[in-house]
Amino acid sequence: MPVLKSRGDSIEPLLFQKYPALKGHIAWQSLGNFPTPVRKLEKLGKEIGHQNIWIKQDDKSSDAYGGNKVRKLEFILPEALRLKRKTIITFGGIGTNHGLATTIHGRRLGLDTLLVLVDQPVTAHVQENLLLFHHFGAEICRAHNTFGAGLRTIGYFLTRPGLHFVPTGGSSPLGALGFVNAAFELKNQIESGQLPEPKYIFLALGSKGTLAGLMVGCRLAGLKSTVIGVRVAYHWLANEKNTAKLANSVISLMRRHDKAVPDISFSEKDIHVVHDFFGEGYGFATSQGKEALGLIARTENVELDLTYTAKAFAALLDFVKKHRELGNTPILFWHTYSSVDLTTIVKQDHDYTKLPGSFHDVFQTNMIPYI
């Protein structure tokens, strides 16, 4: 396995320190900069009249490409290497951040990536990510919809050796372990006085790995925080039942290798999902999201995206507004979108005709303001 720079804080995940038997069974490779910083949103707090809002900056989880996927890939990619697979095959929308993270970090470990992509509204971000998939060497295939993506994937498995399947968003039980670990990281930050224990944690809920992993992790780490997923994907994918199922699979995976992991379980009732900020559909911006994005950019210089994090932050702002009785209860916003600036690459390498012809219509109108 290629050797990369290891974490500044430790050479193994906190999870392995807590449950040492996992170490021999679950592959892991450091890919990011952890722990990610936490800070109080002072100026924003003053403006909205709540002095205890915090941010966990997973946007800074890697210098190559950050966001929430890095934690998942630290478990997913080494497993592919362990199985001697050559290529990661995964699904997503045509602007998938998970696809980009997998391509960039996979390449660092010598793995190729094949992305099977379904349609979503075309935005500048979608066009940028498509150009970046190509730039970083991913093979891309347009399947239009989920059914088509399933058929294409079966076709690839029948014809190509060495593929390693990763579900949408990296939300396998193995990927979600990254967020179990994240809860232990948060606990250390609380214990060392960097932030108070949050009463509520808000994050975007898409393919569920982030929410499921963090809920399991909080329970195991003894944190009392209520983790709230703000649904940004379709209900059939992102719902309470599926999240509980994934959380239980994470526990089963851990207990299979280490019986010291307590036999806990989650039901639908344990999962907190806010459904009202989704808007018209996946990838469609909402006016509340745009407002939330503008507010945090102006007051705190934090950059959100309109598909995931702006909707999650809008839900947090609405919650604070509607629950004045909370006083200054600590609330944490988990930032999951990469803040690494890849615009220089897009500026230099934006000839979309190098992409397969089935993607050219996405570029009919250029939406990227700087090219």
Ligand X SMILES: Cc1ncc(COP(=O)(O)O)c(C=O)c1O
> Binding residues for ligand X, per CB under 6 A?
67-68, 97-98, 169, 171, 204-211, 305, 308-309, 336-337
C-beta of 352: minimal distance to ligand X in Å? 22
Quote the least distance from Cβ 111 to ligand X, whole Å: 19
Q: Which amino acid is at 153?
A: T
Output the smallest distance, CB 79 to ligand X, in A.
17
Q: In what order do the strands lie in the sheet with 163-166?
A: 139-144, 112-118, 87-93, 163-166
The structure tokens listed for 81 are 């290497």
* Least distance in angstroms from the C-beta of 310 to ligand X: 10
CA distance 176 to 205: 13
337, 59 Cβ separation under 8 angstroms = yes
d(CA 160, CA 162): 7
52 vs 228 by CB, closer to ligand X: 228
- DSSP single-letter state for residue 21: G
| Closest separation in Å from C-beta 309 to ligand X | 6
198 contact partners, CB below 8 Å, separation of at least 6:
54, 225, 330, 331, 332
Dist CA 94 CA 127 (whole Å): 8
Query: Which C-beta is closer to ligand X: that of 52 or that of 73?
Result: 73
Between 13 and 99, CB nearer to ligand X: 99
Q: Which lies closer to ligand X via its Cβ, residue 236 or residue 353?
A: 236
> Three-state DSSP class for 87?
strand
Q: Which is nearer to ligand X, 104 or 258 (CB)?
A: 104
Pick the closer one to ligand X by CB: 19 or 282. Answer: 282
In the complex, minimum distance from the CB of residue 210 to ligand X, in angstroms, rounded to a whole number: 3
- Residue 91 beta carbon to ligand X: minimum distance, rounded to whole angstroms: 11
Q: Where are the alpha helices (DSSP H) in 14-96?
A: 14-18, 42-48, 69-82
DSSP string, 34-53: -SPPEEE-HHHHHHHT-S-E
CA 362 to chain centre: 24
The DSSP line for 130-180 is: HHHHHHTT-EEEEEESHHHHHHHHHHHHHH-TTEEEE-GGG-SHHHHHHHH
Report the nearest approach of ligand X to the CB of residue 207 (Å). Answer: 3
C-beta of 52 vs 210, nearer to ligand X: 210
In this complex, which beta carbon is closest to ligand X, that of residue 80 or of residue 214?
Answer: 214
